[in-house]
């Protein structure tokens, strides 16, 4: 009897010690907040073979977290459902709401990293906006998936596991906003969706910053442009984003779109030109008029890679146009909106395009 009671007491003590050791270990883990916005990573299809036919923005954030118990070994994770939409439908107001929430969380001592689950269609725009405007060195990771969690070989679970791992990593601090897709760690500034149906969809012409394999980060380069703490833009002081629209260049393009945008009072037009940002000869005078009326003109290119050379295809100095450097039109629009919250001086705008 004596030994049995001693054994029970010992087992009870051992259980208590184990429980407190587990609690202590869990408390020692980093705290990561997942802000969910929708997209395929929260999508659901009718059957496992539906990898492309499904509904995006269905699964709530708590279900995403519950479906990935491995996260509890990496960080103390909690979720907030900011939106539940497909990202092609996000608006400037949504972007502002999300960025202000990220900024507020980043200032909390009990938050070590932030993950944003997001649709892949415009993920690159959100990632760039956050890297331009959120002042923190803490890891901020934007993550999506190309297949819904209901599909065979779904990619969302591993992408999310990777995102939380990187968000919980001290070596991911101070690198700007990051994107974890398909085992790669990409710069939020450089990355773009380059394939619309493959899991290997996100690329940067300058390459990934690193890779993540079985929860370990491998870094191979660092961002070259200003971001987060080095940015002169701060979401906490931005109250609204100006209207900046994109027009596309192609054979026999009319000036209808430019005329309509100019008439609607946009503050800038990004021209996605052919080749190195070329502008059709019949469109040049239209853009010159737009500029003379006070609207900013930014020359980008419909060609995904490379970068637009100032004063090459067009005399930008003479026309007082800005060139978008290596930014694709959709990212040039994000930077133009943010820059115009500070200045509409074209020399300043061009500096900003060189530096961010």
**Catalytic machinery residues:** 40
* Segment interacting with ligand DAS, rule: CB under 6 A, options 58-66, 107-115, 117-125, 162-170: 117-125
Q: Which of 45, 113, 119, 210 binds ligand DAS (CB under 6 A)?
A: 119
If the CB atoms of residues 119 and 223 are measured against ligand DAS, the closer one turns out to be 119
143 binds ligand DAS (CB under 6 A): no
93 binds ligand DAS (CB under 6 A): no
Choose among 329, 347, 349: nearest CA to 339.
349
Residues, the chain: 356
- First-to-last alpha carbon distance for the chain, in angstroms, is 75
If the CB atoms of residues 144 and 277 are measured against ligand DAS, the closer one turns out to be 144
Cα 259 to chain centroid, rounded: 31
Q: Which of 75, 86, 116, 246 binds ligand DAS (CB under 6 A)?
A: 86
Please, what is the minimum distance in Å from the beta carbon of residue 163 to ligand DAS?
14
Dihedral class, residue 135 (left if φ above 0, else alpha if ψ from -120 to 50, else beta): beta
120 binds ligand DAS (CB under 6 A): yes
Q: What is the DSSP string of 99-159?
A: HHHHHHHHT-TT--EEEEE--STTHHHHHHHHHHH----S-EEEE--SS-TTSTT-SHHHH
Binding mask 36-65 for ligand DAS (x = CB under 6 A): ---xx---------------x---------
Please, what is the minimum distance in Å from the beta carbon of residue 144 to ligand DAS?
5
If the CB atoms of residues 150 and 278 are measured against ligand DAS, the closer one turns out to be 150
Cα–Cα dist 238/241, whole Å? 8
- Which residues have C-beta within 8 Å of that of residue 15, sequence separation ≥ 6? none
Cα–Cα dist 353/326, whole Å? 9
88 binds ligand DAS (CB under 6 A): yes
If the CB atoms of residues 85 and 298 are measured against ligand DAS, the closer one turns out to be 85
- For the purposes of burial, counting CB atoms within 10 Å of the CB of 149, is it exposed (0-12), middle (13-18) or buried (19 or more)? buried
324 binds ligand DAS (CB under 6 A): no
87 binds ligand DAS (CB under 6 A): yes
Binding footprint of ligand DAS, residue count (CB under 6 A): 10
Which residues contact ligand DAS by CB under 6 A? 39-40, 56, 86-88, 119-121, 144
């Amino acid at each position: 009897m004596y030994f049995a009671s001693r054994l029970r007491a010992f087992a009870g003590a051992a259980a208590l010690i184990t429980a407190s050791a587990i609690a202590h270990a869990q408390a020692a883990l980093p705290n990561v907040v997942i802000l969910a916005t929708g997209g395929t990573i929260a999508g659901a299809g009718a059957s496992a073979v539906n990898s492309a036919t499904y509904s995006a923005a269905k699964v709530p954030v708590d279900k995403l977290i519950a479906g990935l118990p491995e996260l509890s070994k990496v960080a103390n994770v909690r979720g907030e459902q900011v939106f539940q939409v497909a990202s092609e439908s996000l608006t400037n107001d949504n972007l502002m709401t999300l960025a202000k929430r990220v900024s507020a969380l980043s200032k909390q001592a009990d938050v070590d990293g932030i993950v944003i689950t997001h649709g892949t269609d415009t993920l690159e725009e959100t990632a760039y906006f956050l890297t331009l405007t959120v002042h923190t060195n803490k890891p901020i990771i934007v993550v999506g998936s190309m297949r819904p969690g209901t599909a065979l070989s779904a990619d969302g679970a591993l992408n999310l596991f990777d995102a939380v791992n990187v968000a919980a990593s001290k070596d991911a601090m101070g690198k700007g906003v990051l994107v974890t897709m398909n085992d790669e760690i990409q710069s939020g500034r450089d990355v773009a969706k380059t394939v619309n149906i493959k899991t290997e969809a996100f690329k940067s012409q300058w390459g990934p910053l690193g890779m993540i394999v079985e929860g370990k980060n491998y870094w191979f380069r660092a961002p070259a442009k200003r971001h987060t703490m080095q940015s002169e833009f701060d979401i906490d002081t931005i109250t609204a984003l100006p209207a900046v629209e994109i027009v596309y260049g192609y054979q026999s393009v009319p000036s209808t779109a430019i005329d309509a945008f100019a008439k609607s009072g946009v503050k800038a037009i990004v021209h996605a030109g052919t080749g190195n940002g070329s502008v059709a000869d019949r469109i040049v005078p239209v853009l010159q008029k737009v500029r003379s009326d006070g609207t900013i003109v930014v020359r980008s290119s419909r060609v995904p890679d490379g970068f637009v050379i100032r004063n090459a295809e067009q005399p930008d100095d003479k026309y007082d146009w800005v060139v978008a450097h290596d930014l694709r039109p959709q990212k040039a629009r994000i930077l133009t909106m943010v820059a115009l919250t500070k200045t509409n001086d074209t020399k300043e705008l061009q500096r900003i395009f060189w530096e961010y």
